[in-house]
Structure 1
């Protein structure tokens, strides 16, 4: 190759300047489905958006704010539910793999499992799992704006990362559901061992601390009380029974079977779990409690073989169904409750109204918002694009495909 002339040299310098100065777009995927696209098209496109714009080193961001308010990597936005979305996305990909047997899907599921393992590694304490992590050497503005600012920490086990702590009972349930489903229908031998190890460390720490979730300071987290010696919600009794059942199943360790039986025989968690659903007054009902109960039922009722316990868990499920059956399907999780109830009971409840809601499941829109954010020079107002997430939609779809409710042609 000959030497460059003057014009070629200048042109090359301009190209290099553009390459190194102009950052790549943070929105790697920009194609959104139309509202009237078939369901399978909408799900596929939202899946691409989630993996392209919300994938943070194997963890799934529930909410992303793009530049100039955010970063080129998807690490700016509310993050208290990142661990939960990662686990539910793992369940979704596990159903998807079980349906399609696509090795690429299994590899993505493995990467999600690695994301959960990184959420544990970043805390530096085995069994303590972060809500989220960011690759950054210094605090970012969202730490002061969303959730509890004091729960962000600099990682000592992964230098150059910050992580958010104070895990809550919803993440406990997401882990037993997502990792348990992955272990059951997707993971190969290597990843079955990784999934079992994750649950063993996480659930084992809860058992070690008398059925409490404790943070790196060994103090109970704000919403980490499953303890038989402390007053707690009946829903938490249901969740802990599910946690012990799943962890015994995937690890085979006697301590979890013994813990499960002790909570029933000595502390009557099985009776308490019957009352997990708040039916009255309406003001006390919360949609997220239904999410947690449904995921607990899915694992607990399918894996329990004691006839008496199955009756009690069915009683608890029936209390939930008393509410769920009257759903107007405005909540994206409502179709999941109907499909799940039919799977667990054998009763035909997925009718035309539910099917219509399945076909119209929403994803999310990208929107332009104005943010007033803290900076070193005071508050600054800026505009940026923002995206929510489609985790529930994608999980619902592949759960429905796995159990035969959803026609792939829809």
Structure 2
């Protein structure tokens, strides 16, 4: 974990300061300490800060952190025992916690919270506020914060007493878990609670949940200590989790992720996740391939294109140029004119790719998926014999390609040579689709598994559920082609598809949302990316109104997923529609004459964006710096509601506020995942994902003025 440790050193060089500027925020970073750093194997029982240094107590031994490693220490720390109390109330049960508050002693017991009164008797406290009145059980955590408030953690939830007034929190108020083990205070009013399943930081009456290997070496928390800088040292059954919260800016975070992507995710110009040979260890990375190298490379290139447009940074242009060349290479390398490959690898690639996708493998897959394409080899040789390219390309790849074509052409391509290259590849791919009746046709002369955009497919029992999305995508591809090449034939083809096949009507229902087996989250990704080209380059006001309706329909179904990229795409396109409304672009008396009230009703209902940009900012701020794919299970949480839709998976749901859980508390490190999936794993610690996860939504939102400049 050398790279993460170096990052921590850099973060620690900055002083602890309150945040005042709008573009600064607090970034949580976790470092795992175990036997590799000198700790004993197994449980750490206690964690203390003694003489400004962290002390870890395991069994009879004490270990001190010197900034680089843990070493056995002769330091001792005497802690007051909770076992000496006498004359406890009958049935109070075992004493679990204690604290002195306002000169009086409080004890938390198995059967209540008690205070010692003047006559040395114990009086039970029954906390109550406007919502709750509790007789407490298992009061395992008591602490006084730096502002002088008393906190407890019990079976019922968390309580805070401020000047004699109680405020009580349950799952409905955001408490994620209630089997407490300990509590400690930080220097700035925050309180940390340890539980049997993770740690909770209470800050400004909000609860941050830190669980799973992303944050801790083990979920069973035995003790927590917080140093003067606000860093939490969490003792668990399998080592120590150090959680640092430091000031950062959006741009500093972007620089970090650009460096991360360039150093560990660039394979011949292609960008995707890597493989970790040692679980959780980014230093053990090995460059990998994915089915969507073209899409992921295009999205990274788009991020850098927006960056270049905003900043003029030469590095951004170099990366954007390289990304375009890589995406274009996918088209140029294949034996079929205009057909884009999924992947390009050298012939000496370390994996036996064609053996993995044998004809026997294809036959087995067809038993579960009758449309699985039986094609061999799946990685044909390039004409020069130096590379292999993967076939059976999907609509996902096309969405990424066309999304980037328009952005690169508009924001990056400056010379005539650069613009000509974009025009050539866009024409090649679009002409391939037109020539093959709107299908991606492979080297075997047959359509790919997910590459059909033709009317016959949409009108069949096989493709009816894809006609809305794929019709919209095809019209988007043609709009991009028309804009980039300035060739009117693409407008003519789009008009034919609308007039004869009703593609624009299909596009008003751009995605299926029921039954659940028809719903996949990556359709949201490729659909919204396609909307970007469809709406930005459309000139017909009636079609713009129809597409605005379609955009709202598509986005409302995912508007609570806290996906900064999807929110950004919606916000940018909705705002562009608003701008046209304000400029008088739409003459409602001349539109939809068969129903003269329709145009005005669209403006009245959708003339303004319904986006709340605070969720873009929240997600950008809370995206972890560590993009390893961890397994994260949130199905046990108290602050969630399960999705009870018929036929839905049992582990789908959202927070009690009806929005997805925060990004740093779920296992998603890709832009095309379902944020309502409560139990997710993106590689189970054996993959690290590229920084596009932050870079694209950040630079996109910044370019479109959706976050502070």
Q: Give the TM-score of the pair, scaled to structure 2.
A: 0.47
- Please state whether the residue corresponding to 1:123 is helix, strand or coil: coil
Residue of structure 2 in register with 1:255 after alignment: 489
C-alpha separation in 1, matches of 2:254 and 2:499 = 45
Residues 423 and 484 in structure 2, CA contact (< 8 A), matched pair in contact too: yes
Is the counterpart of residue 352 in structure 1 residue 614 in structure 2? yes
Normalized per residue, the structure richer in strand is: 2
Is the counterpart of residue 157 in structure 1 residue 157 in structure 2? no
Query: Structure 1 residues 294, 368: CA separation in 2 closer, same or farther (over 3 Å shift)?
Result: closer
**CA displacement at 1:74 relative to structure 2:** 8.3
C-alpha separation in 2, matches of 1:335 and 1:363 = 21
Residue of structure 2 in register with 1:77 after alignment: 288
**CA displacement at 1:273 relative to structure 2:** 0.5
C-alpha separation in 1, matches of 2:377 and 2:572 = 35
Matches within 5 A, 1:44-59: 44-59=255-270
Quick one: which of 152, 156, 169 aligns to 2:395? 169
Residue of structure 1 in register with 2:404 after alignment: 178
**CA displacement at 1:338 relative to structure 2:** 4.6
Residues 95 and 402 in structure 1, CA contact (< 8 A), matched pair in contact too: yes
C-alpha separation in 1, matches of 2:687 and 2:5 = 12
C-alpha separation in 2, matches of 1:167 and 1:121 = 14
Query: Structure 1 residues 172, 368: CA separation in 2 closer, same or farther (over 3 Å shift)?
Result: closer
Is the counterpart of residue 404 in structure 1 residue 615 in structure 2? no
Normalized per residue, the structure richer in helix is: 1
C-alpha separation in 2, matches of 1:193 and 1:77 = 31
Quick one: which of 186, 207, 227 aligns to 2:434? 207
Residue of structure 1 in register with 2:544 after alignment: 310
Structure 2 unaligned regions, length at least 5:
9-26, 29-244, 363-375, 579-607, 632-683
Worse overlay, 222-231 or 204-213 = 222-231
**CA displacement at 1:145 relative to structure 2:** 5.6
C-alpha separation in 1, matches of 2:353 and 2:383 = 23
Residues 28 and 52 in structure 1, CA contact (< 8 A), matched pair in contact too: no
For 1:63-85, what per-residue CA distance to the aligned partner results, in whole angstroms no more than 9, with x for missing partners? 2125699xx99875351011110
Is the counterpart of residue 268 in structure 1 residue 506 in structure 2? no
Matches within 5 A, 1:257-406: 257-325=491-559, 327-329=560-562, 331=563, 333-346=565-578, 347-348=608-609, 349-362=611-624, 364-366=626-628, 386-406=687-707
Q: How many residues align?
A: 364
- Please state whether the residue corresponding to 1:221 is helix, strand or coil: strand
C-alpha separation in 2, matches of 1:203 and 1:77 = 29
- Please state whether the residue corresponding to 1:153 is helix, strand or coil: coil
C-alpha separation in 1, matches of 2:287 and 2:620 = 31
**CA displacement at 1:384 relative to structure 2:** 9.6
**CA displacement at 1:132 relative to structure 2:** 0.9
Residues 124 and 155 in structure 1, CA contact (< 8 A), matched pair in contact too: no
**CA displacement at 1:30 relative to structure 2:** 8.7
Is the counterpart of residue 107 in structure 1 residue 318 in structure 2? yes
Query: Structure 1 residues 202, 338: CA separation in 2 closer, same or farther (over 3 Å shift)?
Result: closer
Root-mean-square deviation over aligned CA pairs? 3.1
C-alpha separation in 1, matches of 2:629 and 2:472 = 38
- Please state whether the residue corresponding to 2:379 is helix, strand or coil: strand
C-alpha separation in 2, matches of 1:104 and 1:166 = 34
- Please state whether the residue corresponding to 2:393 is helix, strand or coil: coil
Identify which of structures 1 and 2 has the higher relative contact order when contacts are C-alpha pairs closer than 8 Å and 6+ apart. 1
Q: Give the TM-score of the pair, scaled to structure 1.
A: 0.79
Is the counterpart of residue 120 in structure 1 residue 382 in structure 2? no
C-alpha separation in 1, matches of 2:618 and 2:685 = 35
Is the counterpart of residue 65 in structure 1 residue 291 in structure 2? no
Worse overlay, 256-265 or 118-127 = 118-127
C-alpha separation in 1, matches of 2:490 and 2:5 = 46
C-alpha separation in 2, matches of 1:74 and 1:218 = 38
**CA displacement at 1:295 relative to structure 2:** 0.9
Residues 199 and 247 in structure 1, CA contact (< 8 A), matched pair in contact too: yes
Residue of structure 2 in register with 1:40 after alignment: 251
**CA displacement at 1:49 relative to structure 2:** 1.0
Matches within 5 A, 1:88-99: 88-99=299-310
Structure 1 unaligned regions, length at least 5:
1-26, 370-382
Query: Structure 1 residues 366, 283: CA separation in 2 closer, same or farther (over 3 Å shift)?
Result: closer
C-alpha separation in 1, matches of 2:427 and 2:5 = 40
